[in-house]
Amino acid sequence: MESLLQSLLGDNLLTVVLYCALPLVFILLYALLAILGEVKISAWMQDRLGPMRTGPWGIIQPIADVFKLLQKEDITPAKADKVLFNLAPFLSFMSAYAAFAVIPFSSQYVGADLNLGLFYLLAISSLNVAAIIMAGWASHNKYSLYGSMRAVAQIVSYEVPAAMVLVIIVMFVGSLNLQDIITAQSGPIWNWMVFGGPKQDVVLASGEVLSASWANLIFLPFFMASFVMYYIAGLAETNRTPFDIPEAESELVSGYHTEYSGMKFAMFFMSEYANMFLVSAVVAVLFFGGWNSPFGVYLGDAFGAPWLVAVEQFGWLAIKGLFFVFVMIWVRWTLPRLRVDQLMYMSWKVLIPFSFGIALVVGFLVVIL
């Protein structure tokens, strides 16, 4: 992908900028789809029609929403801290976008093929916490402040089980590189992590061989449980229902972004949707084979067109990611909100002990097998 851009535009700064901006194009298009999905799916689940006036079945509603947000007056409250208030939304989106640097969209496109991919992903998402506190403090509003404190307490608690699940997968594959984790799951659907990982030896990009056999089926229950735990932690980290305590409408107006309007609100909104896809993409990469086709073969190989393989791989990752975003929306319109104490109980007394236990068992099994 990079070489294609280089051959088109030459080896200059423009190429680098375009290469880095590709995920942004994807996020913008995906955000439109997700906004429409949220209103339409919620409507179906509640036996309503949802927006119907803009275009056939209301499908251009998200575009109308974007124009509405663009036209809105940009208000900075008189008592707010001007600098931090204006900085926070950008920092929030920056942290979400920076994480996309290591998401492999296909075998040919990954922003930065870091050997520390997963570790970087964990670290950079902590920037979002700083942005949320900044927004909550700068708004000079008690609802914003409470919302941001709840958000931070929640994210900090759920980072621990999420990190433990990542450790489980890293122990199994022996690499922090996301491309390696995906390569380890290549082939048909039963090689995916959620079904116990690869069933035959895999050669990683570094040349190392990950030896595997059908005995890996023993990992199936552990990885299945890890997947569920990671997804729950992901829901909490993106502040989605049933973990939307930081934005609880009935208590806190809308939490840390109560005072934001217009495009600055849109930035928070975008970063929330970007984070939703991020969590879904990481779930797809860790447990569902990333850009691997579930059939183990590609149309592009049959036609002898390598570019088609890359497009197909991107398609598979997008389908898997969007499916998990759909599940998030589905959960949101199905479950009620947890209480704060239930939230903390869930993280510290359920997810953390279980994730540590699974890490211990998987560690022993990796050494034995």
Partner 1 sequence: MELTILFYVFAALTIIPAFVVVFSRSLIYAAFSLLFTFLGVAGLYVLLSADFIAVAQIMVYIGGIMILLVFGVMLTKQATDVEISTGIMKTLPALIVVGFALGTLIMVLTGASWTQIGTIPQIEGTALELGELLMTTFVLPFEVAGILLLVAVMGAALIARKPKEVQS
* Residue nearer to partner 1 on the CB measure, 83 or 215: 83
Alpha carbon 149 to its chain centroid, in Å, reads 22
Residue in 1, 41, 43, 122 binding partner 1, rule: CB under 8 A: 122
Indicate the helix (H) or strand (E) that contains 203.
strand 202-203
* Of 150, 337, 363, 105, residue with least CA distance to 242: 337
* Residue nearer to partner 1 on the CB measure, 40 or 264: 264
Alpha carbon 194 to its chain centroid, in Å, reads 18
Q: Is 366 in the site for partner 1 (CB under 8 A)?
A: no
**What is the smallest separation between the CB atom of 286 and partner 1, expressed in angstroms?**
18
Alpha helix (H) residue ranges in the chain:
2-9, 13-45, 61-71, 82-99, 117-124, 126-138, 142-173, 178-183, 220-237, 249-252, 262-287, 299-303, 306-332, 340-345, 352-368
Work out the angle at residue 279's Cα, subtended by the Cα atoms of residues 240 and 105, and round it to the nearest 5 degrees.
Answer: 145
Q: Are 271 and 93 in contact (CB under 8 A)?
A: yes
Q: Is 176 in the site for partner 1 (CB under 8 A)?
A: yes
Choices 113-121, 182-190, 195-203, 344-352; region in contact with partner 1 by CB under 8 A: 113-121
* Residue nearer to partner 1 on the CB measure, 28 or 156: 156
Residue in 110, 152, 279, 346 binding partner 1, rule: CB under 8 A: 152
Give strand pairing partners of 210: 202
Q: Are 328 and 240 in contact (CB under 8 A)?
A: yes
* Residue nearer to partner 1 on the CB measure, 175 or 185: 175
DSSP per-residue letters across 87-112: HHHHHHHHHHHHHGGG-BSSSS-BS-
* Residue nearer to partner 1 on the CB measure, 149 or 253: 149
* Residue nearer to partner 1 on the CB measure, 160 or 218: 160
Choices 152-160, 182-190, 296-304, 305-313; region in contact with partner 1 by CB under 8 A: 152-160
Q: Is 130 in the site for partner 1 (CB under 8 A)?
A: yes
Residue in 54, 63, 86, 119 binding partner 1, rule: CB under 8 A: 119
Q: Is 114 in the site for partner 1 (CB under 8 A)?
A: yes
Provide the binding-site residues for partner 1, judged by CB under 8 A.
81, 83-84, 114-116, 119-120, 122-124, 126-127, 129-130, 133-134, 137, 140, 145, 149, 152, 156, 159, 176, 206
